[in-house]
Structure 1
Amino acid sequence: MSTLEEILNIKYPIIQGGMGNISNATLASSISNAGGLGTIGVGTLTPQEIEIMIIETKEKTSNSFCVNIPLSVNPYVKEMINLVIQYKVPIVSLSAGNPAPFISLFKDNGIKIISVVASVKQAIKVEKLGVDVVVAEGYEAAGINSALETTTLTLIPQIVKEVNIPVVAAGGIGDGKGLAAMLALGASGVQMGTRFIATKEAPFHPNYKEAIIKAQDGNTVIVGRTFGKIRRLIDTPYAQSLLELEKKGTAELFQEKTSEHYHKVGAIEGKLTDGFINGGQIAGLIDDVPTVEELLKKMVNEAKKQLQQVFVKLNTYEDSE
């Protein structure tokens, strides 16, 4: 089996999450240039907006990058697929829907396929369909989450046991120790979103970055359980207003108040009383704003050190028959 790095043509086994509607060419290209896999998340954006972003990303990096298409979210799926093919984007990530109808089209055009899953059943299914890589996302992750609420720690080893393609761990990872832990569980790499928000190249509002830096272990909140629309956010005044809305509002109003308009108001404009900001549970561990290159190098070096320490410790134990 080819390695994750070989399949995606990357130096480090670190992938950027989709960050629909607020991802951008600057951050994606910086991650790719630093040796990871940068990603453009199409979210609910238009084909015209994504075309501009793809062109800009290609101008800023000659390395591999990815386009994430949430199949049940974006109203222009056919057009997005055509753009990926037209501009020869090397990798596509498919999430929030059934990838089956699109697999052969991407394969015929030499495009590698990542599928985002939240269960063993989904992972087995997409492997049979012929995807190249599985991203298994646990409940710790930022943004829209699976109703299964399975943690990354329990999800990864179960999926690794059942599939033969590379498995990338997502949710709750933000440093080298997290990378080492996921590799120890059998994952081939990691995907991160929240950690990349707090980087120098990420063009998000300083209020967003500051909220992540200040966050402690209990400063994320789940909204949307009442309406079956689970989403993990940084706990802000707007997030609290969404919890109140669940008690007395309607599903339609909740859907409106968690639309991408309010995502941009929080993340891009920095108005934390008028819009929301996604954030994973790993936010409590983040306390600096490095460059992307500094982050990736530090993570890999820290992972090496951590795994070496574990190896030394294990070698002090007597073998048992």
Structure 2
Amino acid sequence: MNRLTECLGIQHPIIQGGMGNISNARLAAAVSEAGALGTIGTGTMDVEEVGGIVRDLKMLTNRPFAMNIPITMTPDLKGMIEIAITEEVPVVSLSAGNPAPLIPVLHDHGIKVICVVASRKQARKAADAGADVLVAEGYEAAGINSHLETTTLALIPQLVDEVAVPVVAAGGIADGRGLAAMLALGASGVQMGTRFIATKEAPFHERYKETLLAANDHGTLIVGRSVGRVRRVLRSPYAEKVLDLEKQGMTLEQYAELTSEDNHRKGALEGKLDEGFINGGQVAGLIADVPTVKEVVDGMMTDASTVLRALSDTMKVE
């Protein structure tokens, strides 16, 4: 047990990343049942849909889980906060906006708050506002990323030095070696999204999983840089088309339409890789199998322990 697991009431220092409109109760429950923290990402879904997913999740597990609310992307922010309160969600993760006004509201109802950050300035502001945990997301991560493009390796030790609250590393982590590395940098745990896509419980289209398994060390690309909206996706016909159109010049509105959550669903849930995109982190090149969620979590903990013991032995002074 460390500060993160004690704070969130979980067994292992591993958090599932929010997956926006493709979030589902089955995968999040499996992550929580494995002793980590499952997460429902609300994306741009409506309040009723998210409420139904949360209730389904609570029927599948009695262990802690989280809701990720992207503040500026949420059409009914007040309604989403009310869902978290009325459904007694134990942990809320806030991203894509200023979390300061929401933290005391959630704390008043006994909800732990995670804030997703990408810089020292953001980390300091979130910690000062009362965040219980920070998730520091590096440029390697899947999906929407900070325009600052700071890598996880560079970001984590700086934020650990900056704040007193537990820092969780996100971006570029898929196995026990990655977990051990982040712990060595001072993080209290890790957050993963891409690794959990390629699991038996993840109800995503087989073409999504096949593309992920086939990815190599340059199997992802960045779209949106020209309009200040960085997103990392797996290479696919649709992603290549978006990138080509971007090179020809496009407005923010055109980009937003091409990378809408509807296009995300088409790729991830329907497998229409000519009509929709699929998110994926740079770590995709490390993923070569589709185990159960429990096998992923247990394997990471075992491998991280092995790595850390080996390093300890290596560093012993005779």
TM bin, normalised by shorter chain, reads over 0.9
Rounded to whole Å, the distance in 1 between the matches of 2:316 and 2:145 is: 39
Aligned to 2:134: 134
Name the structure 1 match of 2:152. Answer: 152
Partner of 1:40: 40
**Whole-Å separation in 2 of the counterparts to 1:25 and 1:230:** 28
CA deviations 1:2-25 (Å, max 9, x no partner) are: 711111000000000001000100
Indicate if the aligned counterparts of 1:245 and 1:254 stay in contact, CA closer than 8 A. Answer: no
Distance (whole Å) between structure 2 residues aligned to residue 193 and residue 66 of structure 1: 14
Match of 1:279 in 2: 280
* Aligned equivalent of 2:5: 5
Runs of 4+ in 1 over 6 A off after TM superposition: none
Q: Deviation of residue 304 (structure 1)?
A: 0.3
* 1:98-132 Cα shifts (integer Å, max 9, x gaps): 00111111111000000000001111111111110
Q: Distance in 2 between matches of 1:247 and 1:10?
A: 45
Secondary structure, aligned partner of 2:290: coil
**Partner-residue secondary structure (3-state), 1:21:** helix
Q: Which residue of 2 aligns with 1:253?
A: 254
Residues 160 and 187, structure 1, Cα contact 8 Å, conserved in 2: yes
Task: State how far apart, in whole Å, the 1-side matches of 2:114 and 2:245 are.
Answer: 35
Could you say which residue in structure 1 is the equivalent of 2:166?
166
Q: How does 1:84-103 map to 2 (within 5 A)?
A: 84-103=84-103
Find the residue that maps to 2:101 and give its secondary structure: helix
Distance in 1, matches of 2:278 and 2:254, equals 18
Match of 2:312 in 1: 311
Structure 2: distance between partners of 1:30 and 1:124: 33
Quote the residue 1:107 is aligned against.
107
In structure 2, what is the equivalent of residue 60 of structure 1? 60
Q: In structure 2, how many angstroms separate the alpha carbons of the residues matched to 1:117 and 1:193? A: 16
Once the two structures are TM-superposed, the CA of residue 248 in structure 1 deviates from its matched residue by 2.4
TM-score (norm 2): 0.98
For structure 1, the residue ranges without an aligned partner over 5 or more in a row are none
Q: What does residue 70 of structure 2 align with?
A: 70
- 1:238 and 2:246 correspond: no
CA root-mean-square deviation = 1.1
Query: What's the secondary structure of 1:191's corresponding residue?
Result: strand
Mapping for residues 291-302 of structure 1, pairs under 5 Å: 291-302=292-303
Q: Structure 2 CA distance, aligned partners of 1:28 and 1:313?
A: 38
Structure 2 portions without partners, runs of 5+: none
Normalised by the length of structure 1, the TM-score is 0.97
Q: Structure 1 residue 270 and structure 2 residue 271: aligned?
A: yes
Rounded to whole Å, the distance in 2 between the matches of 1:119 and 1:93 is 17
In the alignment, which residue of structure 2 is the partner of 1:187?
Answer: 187
1:245 Cα deviation from its structure 2 partner: 1.0
What is the CA–CA distance in structure 1 between the aligned matches of 2:60 and 2:205, rounded to whole Å? 22
Which one-letter code corresponds to 1:93 in the other structure?
S
Shift of 1:249: 4.3
Between the two proteins, the alignment pairs up a number of residues equal to 317
